[in-house]
Every structure is written in structure tokens, then in C-alpha cells.
Amino acid sequence: VVVVLAGGTGGAKLAAGMAAVVPPAELTVVTNTGDDVEAYGVHVSPDPDLVTWWLAGIIDERGWGIAGDTWAVMDQLEAAGRNPWFRLGDRDLAMCLIRTELLAAGERLTKAHGAVVRGAGVESSVLPMADEPVRTHVRTPEGWRAFQEFMIVDGATAQIEAVEFRGADAARPTPEVLDAIERAEAIVIGPSNPVISIGPILAVPGMRQALAAARTPVVAVSPFVGGRAVKGPTEAFMAHTGLPLTAEGVAEAYEGVIDAIVADEPVDVPGIRSLETPTLMDGREARARLARAALELASSSA
């Protein structure tokens, strides 16, 4: 088993690359549920879904949602005078309904999202980090905002004063996550936002200990490409935590968790092995190449 920890796009792309270099059924992706949100009574899991659509090869080229999706439901909500602030395509919504129905029937989030994964025809496992609700909140000068409100309603422009992963204290890594980490031949932290994408995963009590106890080294892939985050508000969140906007800053964020890091810049952190290689994943080949590089670093760090 290869385990990838993933938030949004960066981690999802690396997971897709990994599924091209190891048998898909041997890949387990542990995903951030801190961005989960209830919209229109539907349980939306943006990061687990993004990973799932990437693995299914149905990600839309806009970077989220399902390729070729239609918007009849959102258009009707708007026509009915509602504010469809969280835009879900019709197919995307259908997949969310699968999860919502199973949750309403009392299933764990792991099982509910598992039905989405199987429904998308994905052979790999895409696991929520925890079954309990964890919700990322961001404090801005206007007050606390749920993560999706901060991102979508506020446009992620407000000043970040504090970040909280509400519910994390009461959450636990699922049995499926612990089992995958224990059996892993390689563990790779994808190039996602260390603070708000990987941060919630590591904030689940027991997760860091499980990673430390794994028989295989943990390798991070830096989300910085040419000194910049490719996508999303990574830089603002890194700056908020006082971390340098470099692969060394990423290594610092993962202190005590990782043994090695892949980056496109030199990394000089005591006790951390590193591999310098291009990290831009601008296509199938580049994704597979980066996945292979992470596996090689894991293997040479063992």
C-alpha cells in the first residue's frame, strides 16, 4: 500500500500520478475533511471529491467539479431566489447526494464517501481523515468565518488572524486510515497547503503518532513551484503561521512528521533528506514523474 495525504488540487494531482505508477488498488489517499460543508442540506466534501474526480479521470479542466457537468439545479435555485453560493454541478450534486443519503442513514463518513468513490469507478481508496466532523474556521477582521465562506463568499482576500480546526479534538483517525498507515510501503504528503489542507489531517489526535510509528519513512512534496504556490491561498496561510514561503518552511510545518522532502529548491534542514527535482505537474507525465520521485526518495530514506 502507498498512502498519500492530500488536500485539494496539488495533493489530488500527485494522487493521480501515483495511481499511474502503482496499481490503483494499492493506493490509499487520506483526505482533508476540514473543508466539508453543508450546502442546500447536502454534505459536500470538496477535498475528498476533488481527489476522487482526479483518480476517476473526470476532473473538469477548471480545476474542480466533474467534466462536462451541467448546472440545472443551481440555475433553478437561483431562479427561485436562493443564493447558490456553493456552485455544485448536477453530476457533482448527485455524487454528494449518495454521501448525504448514507450519512442520513447513519453510515460513517468513510463508508458514505466510499460509495462515492466506487460510484465514480475508482479502485483506489479515498479516505476521510476522520469520521467525526472537523471544520476549518478562519478568523478575519470581520470575525470567524467557516472555511468555504472565507474562500467563496469573501474571496479569500480577508486578513487571516487565526485558524481553528473545530471538532478536531473529538476526532480520531479512522480504523481504515490507521490500517493503511500501518501497512504502508511508502507515505507521501502531497503538495497541498501545509496549514489548511494537510494541517487539519495532522490535527486529528493520534494522526502524527500513527505516522511516526509507521514502518516506512514519510516524504513530503513541497507545494512551492519556482518559489510560489501554484494555486490557492497557500502563501497567505503560510505567512500567517510565520513559516517561510519555501520548501524549508514546509519542512518546518511538518517537523516531527516527515523524514524527507521533494522540492524544486535546495532544502537544508537537519535530519531531513531531500530530493531536488521539478515539481510542476502540468500533465500526466509530470504527475507520474513526481510520484515516482517521491517513491524513490521514500525508498532511499528507509
State the residues that interact with a copy of itself by CB under 8 A.
38-43, 69-70, 72-77, 79-82, 90-91, 93-95, 97-98, 100-101, 103-104, 116, 118-120
Strand partners, 186: 2
Distance of closest approach, residue 268 Cβ to a copy of itself, in angstroms: 48
Distance of closest approach, residue 65 Cβ to a copy of itself, in angstroms: 12
In this structure, are residues 133 and 168 in contact, taking their beta carbons and an 8 Å threshold? no
Nearer residue to a copy of itself within complex by CB, 6 or 93:
93
Nearer residue to a copy of itself within complex by CB, 20 or 94:
94
The closest of 203, 206, 179, 180 to 254, measured between CA atoms, is 203
Rounded Cα gap, residues 45 and 96, in angstroms:
8
Distance of closest approach, residue 36 Cβ to a copy of itself, in angstroms: 14
In this structure, are residues 240 and 160 in contact, taking their beta carbons and an 8 Å threshold? yes
Nearer residue to a copy of itself within complex by CB, 95 or 247:
95
Distance of closest approach, residue 84 Cβ to a copy of itself, in angstroms: 9
As a whole number of angstroms, the longest Cα–Cα distance in the chain is 59
Reported as half-sphere exposure (CB side, CA atoms, 13 A), residue 15 has a value of 37
Nearer residue to a copy of itself within complex by CB, 82 or 228:
82
Nearer residue to a copy of itself within complex by CB, 25 or 104:
104
Distance of closest approach, residue 100 Cβ to a copy of itself, in angstroms: 3
Nearer residue to a copy of itself within complex by CB, 69 or 176:
69
The closest of 41, 66, 40 to 52, measured between CA atoms, is 66
Reported as half-sphere exposure (CB side, CA atoms, 13 A), residue 281 has a value of 30
The closest of 215, 221, 299, 228 to 267, measured between CA atoms, is 221
The closest of 25, 217, 50, 206 to 132, measured between CA atoms, is 206
Distance of closest approach, residue 60 Cβ to a copy of itself, in angstroms: 14
